[in-house]
Structure formats: structure tokens, C-alpha cells
Amino acid sequence: MAIIERSVTYFSEGDRLAGVVYLPAESQGPVPGVVLCHGFTAIKELILPDYGRAFAEAGFAALAFDYRGFGESEGPRGRLIARRQIDDIRNSVTFIGTLPEVDPQRIGLWGTSYGAANVIVAAAEDPRVKCVTAQVGFADGGRRSRERPPAETAPMRAMIEEERKKRVLTNEPTMVEPLQLLSDPETVAFFMEARKSLPALSQPISMEFLESTMEHRPIEAAAKLAGCPLLVVAAELDTLTPAADSEALYDAANEPKRLVILPGIRHYEIYSGEPLRRSSAEAVAWFKAHLA
């Protein structure tokens, strides 16, 4: 199916967001809409075009966007804070519903990695969201720290406390290279390669990210989806957001729900080749079942 790609802008909490809408070129009346929500420091040009085009080819309108402070969107640079991103998602739901090609009563959310955690919380808060796909996400951003001996986490907790004081006294958050905070070899390799064509991915982020992530508990929101259909997609060999987290999210949610674990792949391998095709096909089928 032929598709149309259109650049758009709209506002979230006073800042202009930049996005791209993917539309089926031929449709009979308004179609369901899906808001695509990215992960850690990512921008709309990375990965999302593959999913946006897959959804448009299946008859959906899809909106990819840059969170405030990232990519082409306005706002203080690099403030990767879950609450801000969830507000951006909800404002994106409002925006996609204003498009004449979209039925505002049939809007879903698709999120990957950090975005998977965000869409679960956004859907639990916003009854306009009628369906969710959460891919390679985490269940509780602070669980690993809480499970470690207090002596091991004391330096990090002290650093977070000092950073909190600095922000209120100076209004100057400490900015760091993102790969200093997520420094596992797979993440470093993935982003260093992606930065060759997308240098905006080098945007420093504020240390607030640590505190925000430790307080981010989508598993609590999953239990509050109140019948909003949830598809959870995991990568079997994922060490960044283990499949066990996806299983926990699935267990916490009410029906209708579905859990898909893609065998033999790691976190970033879901974004190319057969895993990309399978993950997009699973999401398309889920949205067709619950939004069409």
C-alpha cells in the first residue's frame, strides 16, 4: 500500500514538538491512529520510520515525534524525565486526534524500551488510549537498586541527593554523556553506530534521569489499565530490559493481554531483519484486533 509521510509540529506544555505522520495513501474515511514513543535519548529518525511505515501500510495513521529537549523539538535540552515524556505522549494523543484522517475514538500507543514503560503509564492515566503495545520495556526502574545491599547503592543515592540540591539552588542540572549512564557494551555499540548518521543522538542528558528512572514503575500502572488491551513484546536474550520484566508486566495487567517473547535475540536486535518484521507484524495484528 502506498503511504504518505508528512512533517508536523504541535505543542506540549508550551514547547513545540516536531513529528512525522505516516498515512495510508488510500483509505475509506478516518483510520485508527497510533502514537510511536521512543526509548533512551532516541529521536524520530531512528528506527521509528520502519514501524511508522509498517503501520501505515496496514491502514493505520502513525505519529513519530521527538520528546521535548531532543531532536528537532523545543524545550530545555536533554531533560530525560519520565513524567515530561509521558505528558508529551498524552499531548501527542491529542494532536493525532485532530488530524482529519484519524478517528479520535480509535487511538493506540506503541512504545519501545524506555518508551514501552512510558506508554503503559500514559495509557493507565488517559482513557482516550484504546490499545497499547509495549516492546522490550522494563517493569520497575528502581528494582535492581533496591535489591542491592544499601552500602553498594549509597554513592549513587548520595549523588542523586547532591544533584537534587544543586538544581533547586542554581537551576543548573548536571549534564552528562548518555553513554556514561547506560554504558553496557551493546548500548554503546548501537548508539555509536547510529550517531554516524544521526549526530543529534549525542545530546547530553541531565543527571535527573537517574532519579526519574528509579521512580518509574510501569508495573504499578499495568494493573490500572482497566481493560485497555496490552501487547507485551520481549527479546529472549535481553540483558538490558530482561524478558522477565515483560513477563511481570504481562502478569500485572488484566485481560485482554498478550505476551510475545522473540526467541534468540538481544535488546537491540529487535530493530532489524526478521525480529523487526515479526515485532511490527505482532503490533499490527494487535491494533487490528482492538482498534479496527
Q: What is the pLDDT of residue 148?
A: 79
The one-character DSSP state at 56 is H
Q: What does the pLDDT average to over 31-41?
A: 98
Q: What is the pLDDT of residue 188?
A: 98
Whether pLDDT at 149 is above 90: no
pTM of this prediction? 0.96
Band of residue 28 on the pLDDT scale cut at 50, 70, 90: confident
Whether pLDDT at 40 is above 90: yes
Residues linked to residue 133 through DSSP beta bridges, in sequence order: 110, 231
Q: Using one digit for the tens of pLDDT, what is the confidence trace for 71-83?
A: 999 999 999 999 9
Measure the CA–CA gap between 227 and 32, rounded to whole angstroms: 18
Q: What is the pLDDT of residue 268?
A: 98
Measure the CA–CA gap between 271 and 249, rounded to whole angstroms: 21
Whether pLDDT at 1 is above 80: no
Q: What is the pLDDT of residue 97?
A: 98
- Least confident segment among 41-55, 152-166, 172-186: 152-166
For 24, 70, 88, the CA distances from 67, given in Å and listed in that order, are: 24, 6, 6
Q: What is the pLDDT of residue 154?
A: 84
> Is the model more confident about 160 or about 205?
205
Q: Rounded to 10 degrees, what is the CA torsion of 62, 64, 67, 70?
A: 180
Whether pLDDT at 12 is above 90: yes
Q: What does the pLDDT average to over 56-71?
A: 98
Measure the CA–CA gap between 74 and 79, rounded to whole angstroms: 11
**What proportions of the chain, in percent to the nearest 5, are helix, strand and coil?**
45, 25, 35
Phi and psi based region of residue 14 (left: phi greater than 0; alpha: psi -120 to 50; beta: remaining): left
* CB-based contact 245:139 (threshold 8 Å): yes
Mean pLDDT score of the chain, rounded to an integer? 96
Whether pLDDT at 224 is above 90: yes
> What three-state secondary structure class fits 192?
helix
